[in-house]
């Protein structure tokens, strides 16, 4: 007998679509914050620097073609001068040791570390402000 109620599969699909729309809206807001940060960094004279990526093993750091600003002391997150958000973690490899690593942009988020251990999340706005306040000092 047909029913007008959505199936559990339909409900799951609707929730997934809603979640994806929320993530996309969040990414747009985060990109706006990053663009504002880049303008403010230029005004304050906070210089970008070459970014490196850490191998999954944690043993090696690899050069990248990116320049920007690290957002965490462990140098695993950064924003690039291109306005993108980067997770600076890559597979280990011999070629990367000699040629450097390629890091693709990640979807920007409004809260860094969300879903991680307690006390490890930080609003993106706070991370960007902290980076500005450090000036050209390293973490």
- Give the span between the Cα atoms of 23 and 2, in whole angstroms: 34
Residues 30 and 108: their CA atoms lie apart, in Å, by: 6
Given this model, what pLDDT does residue 12 score?
87
Axis-axis angle for helices 124-134, 8-44 (nearest 10): 20
Q: Considering the domain boundaries, does residue 59 fall inside one?
A: yes
Span 61-70, average pLDDT: 97
Q: What is the pLDDT of residue 40?
A: 98
pLDDT at 1 over 70: no
Average pLDDT over residues 11-40: 93
The CA angle 5-11-12, to the nearest 5 degrees, is: 155
Q: Is residue 33 part of a domain?
A: yes
- Exposed/middle/buried for 74, CB within 10 Å: 0-12, 13-18, 19+? exposed
**2: in domain:** no
Which pair of tokens denotes residue 132?
């500005």
Q: How far apart are CA 24 and CA 111, in angstroms?
A: 14
In a domain, 3, yes or no: no
pLDDT digits (tens, 9 = 90+) for 38-53: 999 999 999 999 999 9
Range of the domain at 56: 8-134
**Residue 20, pLDDT above cutoff 60:** yes
CA-closest candidate to residue 77, choices 39, 40, 114, 29: 114
- Would residue 77 count as lying in a domain? yes
Is the distance from CB of 120 to CB of 113 less than 8 angstroms? yes
Contacts of 99 (CB under 8 A, 6+ apart): none
Specify if 139 maps to a domain.
Answer: no
1, part of any domain:
no
How many structural domains compose the chain?
A: 1
The tens digit of pLDDT for each residue in 76-132 reads 999 999 999 999 999 999 988 899 999 999 999 999 988 666 567 899 999 999 999
């Amino acid at each position: 007998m047909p029913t007008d109620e959505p199936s559990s599969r339909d409900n799951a699909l609707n929730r997934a679509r809603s979640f994806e729309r929320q993530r996309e809206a969040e990414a747009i807001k985060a990109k706006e914050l990053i663009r504002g940060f880049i303008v403010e960094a230029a005004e304050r004279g906070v210089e970008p620097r070459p970014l490196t990526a850490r191998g999954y093993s944690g043993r090696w750091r690899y050069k990248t073609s990116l320049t920007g600003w690290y957002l965490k002391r462990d140098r695993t997150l950064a924003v690039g001068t291109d306005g993108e958000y980067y997770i600076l973690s890559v597979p280990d490899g011999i070629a990367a040791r000699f040629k450097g690593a390629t890091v693709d942009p990640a979807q920007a988020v409004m809260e860094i570390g969300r879903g991680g251990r307690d006390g490890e999340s930080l609003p993106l706005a706070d991370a960007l402000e902290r980076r500005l306040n450090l000036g050209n000092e390293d973490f």
